[in-house]
Amino acid sequence: MVVVSYSGREINAKIVYYGPGLSGKTTNLEKIYDSVPESNRGRMVSMKTQTDRTLFFDLLPLDLGELQGMKTRFLLYTVPGQVYYNATRKLVLKGVDAVVFVADSSPDKMAENRESLTNLETNLKSYGLDIKTMPWVIQFNKRDLPNALSIDQMNQELNRYKVPVFEAQAANGVGVFETLRGVSKILLAKISKDVMDRGSLGTAARVSSGEAKKPPAAGEAPPSKSTEPKKGRGKLMEFLKKGREEEAAAEEAAADSMADARQETILPEDVLTEEPAPARVQSFVERNPFADAPVEPAPTVEEEPMVLSDDDIVLEQEPDDGDVSGLVDHAVEEPKER
């Protein structure tokens, strides 16, 4: 699917190199990648399988020119050719805009060529694409083989839709860029035609082929040349401008919706209320009920020093052994046994 980048002024398209295993698809992309300046190519990404590889990178060719002031950038892909990798081949074909079918010129590979071409047509149908209307070319690779089939034999076996063919020796770089240039021109012509047909209204009156332009009558001034552009010209630019206008309108609508949302969140003044000030945290003394009237300590009284007089001194006399009267009061009656 062609992608138009308005900001970068680029038209991005996807080209897939299809064909049987070991027919030269990967060799084509490697030769293109090595021959293009680094400023005009992206990084090559390789996904290896057991017997084949899937490569892809983007390419900005300079020799194809511009389309209505837009640069063209191609994304080049290869697919694994083995039959048991059909799921991968089908996935790579998603969003394809043009195809290069690389066929092996060896007689032993003709059955694989036919099988791969049938598989290509089937996988394109699964995406709603018709091989009859899609831009695609055939590359007859390995033309340097001593037993290579003739061009007439290859066309008879593979080119039933009469698409352009290119001879190549991909290993030597012969015919590689000719093939890419050929499919690119067909693709750009289709892009231009599709955009012009989409932009045209289809209601303009057309002059039938049987009517001839009549010369002006005698004395009648010839019609002046109109300064308006001819029908069908500049349709691509109109289409691109329309796309930019739609993007600007979408951005303006998004900005308006954001402004409306901000206005809805603003509350009227009568709804606004003051939040009460946070309550002050009471101290421990304030929370203690017994601390309302703090007890003041009693005043200290200085004690007078104690002075003993002679009357306070009593001499203790020892009782005589026979005198027990002083001990009567201190006698303790022992409990009687029961």
DSSP string covering 70-97:
BEEEEEEEE---SGGGHHHHHHHTTT--
Predicted local confidence at residue 42, as pLDDT: 86
Q: Which residues of 48-72 are buried (b: 16+ CB within 10 A; e: fewer)?
A: eeeebebbbbebbbeebeebeebbb
Three-class SS state of 11: strand
47 versus 155: the higher-pLDDT residue is 155
Predicted local confidence at residue 41, as pLDDT: 86
3-state secondary structure 200-259: CCCCCCCCCCCCCCCCCCCCCCCCCCCCCCCCCCCHHHHHHHHHHHHHHHHHHHHHHHHH
pLDDT at residue 102 is higher than 80: yes
Find where tokens 């200290």 sit.
300
Percent of the chain with pLDDT over 70: 51
Category of 39 on φ-ψ map: left (φ > 0), alpha (ψ -120 to 50) or beta: alpha
pLDDT at residue 15 is higher than 90: yes
Predicted local confidence at residue 231, as pLDDT: 47
Q: What is the DSSP letter of 18?
A: E
pLDDT tens track for 105-125: 999 999 999 999 999 999 999
19, 101 contact by CB (below 8 A) = yes
Distance between CA 237 and CA 229 in Å, rounded? Answer: 13
pLDDT at residue 104 is higher than 60: yes
pLDDT at residue 52 is higher than 60: no
How far, in Å, are 14, 44, 114 from residue 68 at the CA level? 19, 29, 39
Distance between CA 12 and CA 1 in Å, rounded? Answer: 9
pLDDT at residue 230 is higher than 50: no
pLDDT at residue 240 is higher than 60: no
Predicted local confidence at residue 255, as pLDDT: 72
pLDDT tens track for 77-99: 988 877 667 888 898 999 999 99
2 versus 119: the higher-pLDDT residue is 119
Predicted local confidence at residue 128, as pLDDT: 95
143, 167 contact by CB (below 8 A) = yes
Predicted local confidence at residue 228, as pLDDT: 45
When pLDDT is averaged across residues 143-157 and rounded to a whole number, the result is: 96
How far, in Å, are 13, 28, 31, 43 from residue 46 at the CA level? 20, 14, 15, 10
pLDDT at residue 2 is higher than 90: no
Q: Residue 140, Cβ neighbours under 10 Å: how many?
A: 26
Q: What is the DSSP letter of 119?
A: H
Q: Which two tokens stand for residue 133?
A: 């209307």
16 versus 67: the higher-pLDDT residue is 16
pLDDT at residue 130 is higher than 60: yes
Whether the pTM exceeds 0.85: the reply is no
- Return the closest-CA partner of residue 158 out of 179, 131, 134, 181: 131
For the chain, give the mean pLDDT.
Answer: 74
Query: Which residues are paired to 104 by β-bridges?
Result: 141
How far, in Å, are 94, 211, 294 from residue 137 at the CA level? 18, 39, 107
Res. 307 pLDDT band, cuts 50 70 90: low
Predicted local confidence at residue 45, as pLDDT: 81
When pLDDT is averaged across residues 297-306 and rounded to a whole number, the result is: 61
pLDDT at residue 252 is higher than 90: no
Distance between CA 185 and CA 64 in Å, rounded? Answer: 8
When pLDDT is averaged across residues 130-143 and rounded to a whole number, the result is: 96
